[in-house]
Amino acid sequence: MLYQLEGSQAVARAIALCRPEVVCAYPITPQTHIVEGVGELVRNGQLKNCQYLNVESEMGAISVAIGSEAAGVRSYTATSSQGLLYMMEAVYNASGLELPIVMTLGNRAIGSPLNIWNDHTDAMSARDAGWLMMFAENNQEAADLHIQAFKIAETLKCPIMVCMDGFILTHAYEKVDLPEQEEVDEFLPPYKPAFSLDPESPCAIGAMVPTTEFMEVRYLAHLRQLEAKTVIERIGKEFGAKFKRNSGGLIRTYHTEGAETVIVAMGSVLGSIKDTVDDLNQTSGGNKYGVMSVVSYRPFPDEQIREALKNAKRVIVVEKAFALGRGGILSREIELALKGLDIEIITVVAGLGGRVITKTMLAEAFQQTKNKLIFLGLREDVIQQEYKTVLDERRA
Amino acid sequence: MFQIRIHGRGGQGVVTAAEMLSIAAFLEGKDAQAFPSFGSERMGAPVVAFCRISEKEIRSREPILNPDAVIIQDKTVIESARAFDGIVDNGFVLINSPADIETNLGNARVKCIGATEIALEQVGRPIPNAVLLGSFAALTGVIKIDSVIKAINTKFSGKIAEKNVKAAQVAYERTLGEV
Amino acid sequence: MSSLTMGNRFGQNTSVQSSSNRPNTLTSGHRACQGCGEGLAARCAIDAAYTAAKGKIAVVNATGCLEVVSCSFPDNSWNVPWIHSLFGNTAAVASGVAAAFKNKGQTDVRVIAQGGDGGTTDIGMGCLSGMFDRNDDVLYICYDNQAYMNTGVQRSSATPALARTATTMPNSQYNGSDPDTGKNVPDIAMAHGIPYVAVASVGNIHDLEHKVAKAINIRGAKYIQIHCPCPLGWGFPTAETIHIARLALKSGMYPLFEAENGVLVGSTPIEDRIPVEEYLRVQKRFAHLFGKNAAPENVGILQEIANRNIKKYRLGGMSDE
């Protein structure tokens, strides 16, 4: 059924449809509305049979979920930015313990400097922790991905982060089609843990693993990430067949057939990118530009990306994170996927700390040919001035 | 696509106005997007919210630089917020002001209405947002007053909803009569 | 085992530990040091809990000596459902376990969180306080050996005044852990107003078992702190763990008491009280107090602490110190 909802509320309702049994909440902008929304659904009885805990920190939040998932019940929490970092050792812990926790990451920049607005730096900090990570392009997909996420995570015994851009998606009102409870129940059966804390059948979870076995444990986790590509694709298709919507999966392409230049990105900026590309194609009267969305960031779908981009001459990666002193992060992974192909790769770093991204700025960046690394909308005058001060201080 | 930008101050329901606008459009079967400008929305600080209405899927999420309509909930932010920047030719301007204001906007279709006064009269609170939406419906015809009323009822309940609906209707009738 | 002394009339008051049917929830084969106070306390506590809960328990263990010695792949010494997550989040993980069993309607399953003093009083304090705040149905047991033993005897906020640790090594200017520092976690637990707080010791196993069994039957947040002498860390012969624990009790350095909802409801009076010096002299971690350059007032600081304990927790019965 169709609703006009704030993104966070759409996600809250999607979570409720998945019947989690333990939800823990710690506030941090911009995901707070999500956990508030779930809390309200528990209190007004719409989400039945669920324990809702107000915890003392993000470390508390993820830890409660670790405990409840280990005891065999479907568990959920949400965080952003600083909160993700605060819980980071537990993030690694959860994936190491093979607990299929679902967590929303309301993407937000990481300080210092303090900044509450959107970018993908927080997601990047967790990319090697062994979690699955998917990025929603709009609020419809944000809702859909959470429903798929529980199924994907529980199939693989691997925790999953559903990333949605803070404020841009979490706080935006949009039309969302939410399925009925029966439909979700058919798609997502009750959680059947492979192991759990059970007095009838005791087991020990979280042993120390010595030098003689640790590498093997890690390698098995690596294989799980690789296997995840198949599972994500399959569950995406299952979802599409049942709910008649193209959500999830590994990547999505838009007018990439015969496109000379393909823009690659993750998350909400894809909307503006598609509009820009349509405008550019219209004025140039052809199909010069295409767009490829990376939906599954972890596992990183190398083969699918290579297949989609192999005929392009130029790939422009628009990314909302940056490795200081190095360059783009997503760009390097795209580059690796396209290794050996004669394709020019350009990095456009955009939207850091919530910096506005306009179609005009994007169009200009897509059409320029001089630079391989652009910071969209960077205020050159400010940089010149500040850097001069730095140099002067050093000389003195 | 019809793009509306709403200016005001924190505590005046600027963001709620944009949300209600989007709900009204949604109820008429359109696609609508509403979002705030994401500043720290403390009471009294200038706030901007945006609403896009379209027959097709809305994909872009940039701030509205070229609004088809600007709603001013608090006339004291007009200058500092550069509230009229980028407005399209012949665009609509709806200002919360009992007296007419000189805008120097060429052929923009400007309407001033004492929305706070109507709100105080009808609702007992100086929150002009629902009132302005009623006037907006009459001024632009982009959404119907019935949709505005339904949208108000999704956001408010009980007596407050009833009174806001009444206030919106008063503004609608008045603006219809004057346009 | 029963005793034939006095015609076996003492049979009623035997401990779980002395029974040939004891559960051995922490069974043999773990790698604790000879004479480890924590290993002993854990076996006693979890066996008592298991018995009181009729076998329905789940245990959450912090990183530390106990976890490392008892569950290192491929070996596991625990006969009960057991999870180890991290160092500082044990109370929160236990809250999650309790929430899960509650939601499944399995309220007969009793959840126990356990860790050493480091993982409890320092890095675990945030999550512990959160669990207390929510009054989650968890029994948290702190095995207090008064330093970070697993990592090589570093000072924790449970380290007693003037004790030597690897990070509070005494020298000519410095006398060990600063007397003006430290945390009293049982007091902190009481300040949270939780249903049950108790202090126990391996020097009194009957009392320890009794407190654990009592806590198991209480709903809500519970905290039990158990004094666990560490032969290696404190510097005493491995056969004397229980003896050292009893010296602590008799000197007043480790008061045994119970509190309910923030109010002291009972304590174990000291019989045959001894001066603190008797307790300190037999531990190398206090050796610097007695060397030729040691200033005598140092021992007085610790005696003062003991005196205050005896007064505060009413360990002296009717007599005064």
Domains, chain B, with CATH or none? 2-178 (3.40.920.10)
What is the rounded (10 degree) CA torsion for C177, C178, C180, C183? -30
Confidence band for B94, pLDDT divided at 50, 70 and 90:
very high
Q: Quick check: is C2 in a domain?
A: no
Q: In what order do the strands lie in the sheet with A132-135?
A: A51-54, A22-25, A75-79, A102-107, A160-165, A132-135, A296-298
CB C21 within 8 A of CB C47: no
Q: Which of residues 243-302 of A touch B (CB under 8 A)?
A: 268-272, 274-275
Confidence band for A213, pLDDT divided at 50, 70 and 90:
very high
Kindly report the average pLDDT of chain C as a whole number. 94
Choose among C58, C88, C95: nearest Cβ to A197: C58
pLDDT for the residue numbered A147: 98
- Percent pLDDT > 90 in chain C is 88
Q: Quick check: is C54 in a domain?
A: yes
Token pair for C301: 């600081």
Q: B142-153 pLDDT, tens per residue?
A: 999 999 999 999
Task: State yes or no: pLDDT of C319 exceeds 50.
Answer: no
Mean pLDDT over residues B82-102, rounded?
A: 95
Confidence band for C6, pLDDT divided at 50, 70 and 90:
low
Q: Quick check: is C210 in a domain?
A: yes
CB A321 within 8 A of CB A297: no
Q: Quick check: is C277 in a domain?
A: yes
Q: How far is CA A164 from CA A97, A106, A161, B8, C201, in A?
A: 25, 5, 10, 28, 51
Q: C288-306 pLDDT, tens per residue?
A: 999 887 888 999 999 999 9
Q: Does A204 touch chain C (CB under 8 A)?
A: yes
Sign of the alpha-carbon torsion through C36, C37, C42, C44:
positive
CA-to-CA distance for A361 and A370, rounded, in angstroms? 16
The residues on C that touch A, with CB distances below 8 Å, are 55-58, 60-61, 67-68, 71-74, 76, 78-86, 88-89, 92-104, 109, 126-127, 129-130, 133-134, 136
Give the rounded distance of the alpha carbon of B102 from its chain centre.
19
Mean pLDDT over residues A210-221, rounded?
A: 96
User: Which residues in chain A are contacts of C98 at CB distance < 8 A?
Assistant: 67
pLDDT for the residue numbered B40: 58
Instruction: Give Cβ neighbours of residue A269 (< 8 Å, ≥ 6 apart).
Output: A165, A318, A320, A350, A351, A357, B61
Choose among B19, B38, B62: nearest Cβ to A173: B19
- C144 membership: H or E segment, kind and range: strand C138-144
pLDDT for the residue numbered A280: 97
CB A119 within 8 A of CB A106: no
Sign of the alpha-carbon torsion through C197, C203, C204, C209:
positive
Mean pLDDT over residues C224-248, rounded?
A: 98
- B48 membership: H or E segment, kind and range: strand B46-54
Task: State yes or no: pLDDT of B18 exceeds 70.
Answer: yes
CA-to-CA distance for B95 and B76, rounded, in angstroms? 11
Interface test with A, best of B59, B148, B153 (most A CBs within 10 A): B59
Q: Taking the complete model, does pTM exceed 0.90, yes or no? A: yes
pLDDT for the residue numbered C11: 57
Q: Does A168 touch chain B (CB under 8 A)?
A: yes
Task: State yes or no: pLDDT of C9 exceeds 90.
Answer: no
Residue with token string 């922490």 = C26
pLDDT for the residue numbered C318: 44
CA-to-CA distance for A362 and A112, rounded, in angstroms? 27
Chains contacting C (3 or more CB pairs within 8 Å): A
Q: What residues does A22 pair with on adjacent strands?
A: A51, A75
Interface test with A, best of C31, C63, C83 (most A CBs within 10 A): C83
Q: Quick check: is C5 in a domain?
A: no
pLDDT for the residue numbered C320: 46
Task: State yes or no: pLDDT of A315 exceeds 80.
Answer: yes
Characterize B81-115 residue by residue with b for buried, 16 or more Cβ atoms within 10 angstroms of its Cβ, and e for exposed. Answer: bebbeebeeebbbbbbbeeeeebeeeebebbbbbb
Q: Closest Cα to residue C206, out of C21, C16, C58?
A: C16
Chains contacting A (3 or more CB pairs within 8 Å): B, C
User: Which residues in chain B are contacts of A271 at CB distance < 8 A?
Assistant: 58-61
Backbone dihedral region of C253: left (phi > 0), alpha (psi from -120 to 50 degrees) or beta? alpha
What's chain A look like in SS3? CEEEEEHHHHHHHHHHHCCCCEEEECCCCCCHHHHHHHHHHHHCCCCCCCEEEECCCHHHHHHHHHHHHHCCCCEEEEECHHHHHHCHHHHHHHHHCCCCCEEEEEECCCCCCCCCCCCCHHHHHCCCCCCEEEECCCHHHHHHHHHHHHHHHHHHCCCEEEEEECCCCCCCEEEEECCCHHHHHHHCCCCCCCCCCCCCCCCEECCECCCCCHHHHHHHHHHHHHHHHHHHHHHHHHHHHHHCCCCCCCEEEECCCCCCEEEEECCCHHHHHHHHHHHHHHHHCCCCEEEEEECEEECCCHHHHHHHHCCCCEEEEEECCCECCCECCHHHHHHHHCCCCCCEEEEEECCHHHCCCCHHHHHHHHHCCCCCEEECCCCHHHHHHHHHHHHHHHHC
What is the rounded (10 degree) CA torsion for C8, C13, C18, C24? 140
Residue with token string 């039945």 = A48
Kindly report the average pLDDT of chain A as a whole number. 97
CA-to-CA distance for C155 and C167, rounded, in angstroms? 6
Q: What is the CA radius of gyration of chain A?
A: 21
Characterize A157-168 residue by residue with b for buried, 16 or more Cβ atoms within 10 angstroms of its Cβ, and e for exposed. Answer: ebbbbbbbbbbb
CA-to-CA distance for B28 and B47, rounded, in angstroms? 27
CA-to-CA distance for A333 and A327, rounded, in angstroms? 11
Task: State yes or no: pLDDT of A375 exceeds 50.
Answer: yes
Residue with token string 């609906």 = B165
Total count of domains within chain C:
1
Confidence band for C73, pLDDT divided at 50, 70 and 90:
very high
Chain pair A-B, CB pairs under 8 angstroms: 59
Task: State yes or no: pLDDT of C175 exceeds 50.
Answer: yes
Choose among C61, C100, C127: nearest Cβ to A22: C100
pLDDT for the residue numbered B64: 96
Q: How far is CA C218 from CA C207, C214, C215, in A?
A: 17, 7, 5
Q: Closest Cα to residue C232, out of C69, C28, C35?
A: C35
Which chain C residue lies closest to A199 (C-alpha atoms)?
A: C56
Which chain B residue lies closest to A354 (C-alpha atoms)?
A: B38
pLDDT for the residue numbered A286: 79
Task: State yes or no: pLDDT of B13 exceeds 50.
Answer: yes
Distance from CA of A177 to the nearest CA of B (A): 12
Q: Which of residues 65-124 of B touch A (CB under 8 A)?
A: 65
Residue type, B134: G
Q: Does A89 touch chain C (CB under 8 A)?
A: yes
Choose among A174, A358, A359: nearest Cβ to B33: A174
What does the angle CA A98 – CA A100 – CA A102 come to, to the nearest 5 degrees? 140
Residue with more model confidence, A110 or C295: A110
Domain that holds residue C49: 23-312
* Helices B14-27, B145-155: inter-axial angle, 10-degree rounding: 120
- Assigned architecture for domain A251-381: 3-Layer(aba) Sandwich (3.40)
Which chain A residue lies closest to C105 (C-alpha atoms)?
A: A49
CA contacts within 13 A on the Cβ side of C118: 17
Confidence band for C4, pLDDT divided at 50, 70 and 90:
low
CA-to-CA distance for B121 and B115, rounded, in angstroms? 10
CA-to-CA distance for A305 and A253, rounded, in angstroms? 10
pLDDT for the residue numbered B38: 73
Is B52 strand, coil or helix? Answer: strand
Residue with more model confidence, C23 or C20: C23
Q: Quick check: is C98 in a domain?
A: yes
Which chain A residue lies closest to B21 (C-alpha atoms)?
A: A173
Sign of the alpha-carbon torsion through A62, A63, A65, A66:
positive
pLDDT for the residue numbered C206: 96
What CATH number should be reported for the domain holding residue C206?
A: 3.40.50.970
Q: What residues does A267 pair with on adjacent strands?
A: none
**Phi, psi angles (nearest 5°) of residue A75:** -135, 150
Q: Quick check: is C17 in a domain?
A: no
Transcribe C48-105 into DSSP letters. HHHHHTTT-EEEEE-SSHHHHHHEETTEE-BSS-EEE--SS-HHHHHHHHHHHHHHTT
Task: State yes or no: pLDDT of C246 exceeds 70.
Answer: yes
CA-to-CA distance for C278 and C250, rounded, in angstroms? 10
Mean pLDDT over residues C125-134, rounded?
A: 98
DSSP annotation of C296 reads: T
Q: What is the CA radius of gyration of chain C?
A: 19
Where in the sequence of chain A do the CATH 3.40.50.920 domains occur?
Answer: 251-381
DSSP annotation of C8 reads: G
Instruction: Give Cβ neighbours of residue A237 (< 8 Å, ≥ 6 apart).
Output: A249
Task: State yes or no: pLDDT of B79 exceeds 50.
Answer: yes
pLDDT for the residue numbered C3: 52
CB C153 within 8 A of CB C276: no
Mean pLDDT over residues C35-40, rounded?
A: 97
C28 upstream amide cis, omega within 30 of 0: no
CA-to-CA distance for B78 and B96, rounded, in angstroms? 11
Choose among B22, B62, B63: nearest Cβ to A173: B22
**Phi, psi angles (nearest 5°) of residue C225:** -110, 130
Q: C184-206 pLDDT, tens per residue?
A: 999 999 999 999 999 999 999 99
Q: Quick check: is C3 in a domain?
A: no
Q: Does B56 touch chain A (CB under 8 A)?
A: no
Which of A102-111, C102-111, C287-296 shows the lowest mean pLDDT across its residues? C287-296
With touching defined as 3 or more inter-chain CB pairs under 8 Å, the answer for chains B and C is no
User: Which residues in chain A are contacts of B39 at CB distance < 8 A?
Assistant: none
CA-to-CA distance for C64 and C62, rounded, in angstroms? 6
pLDDT for the residue numbered C321: 41
Kindly report the average pLDDT of chain B as a whole number. 94
CA-to-CA distance for B173 and A202, rounded, in angstroms? 72
Q: A61-93 pLDDT, tens per residue?
A: 999 999 999 999 999 999 999 999 999 999 999
pLDDT for the residue numbered A396: 84
Classified by CATH at the fold level, domain A2-243 comes out as Rossmann fold (3.40.50)
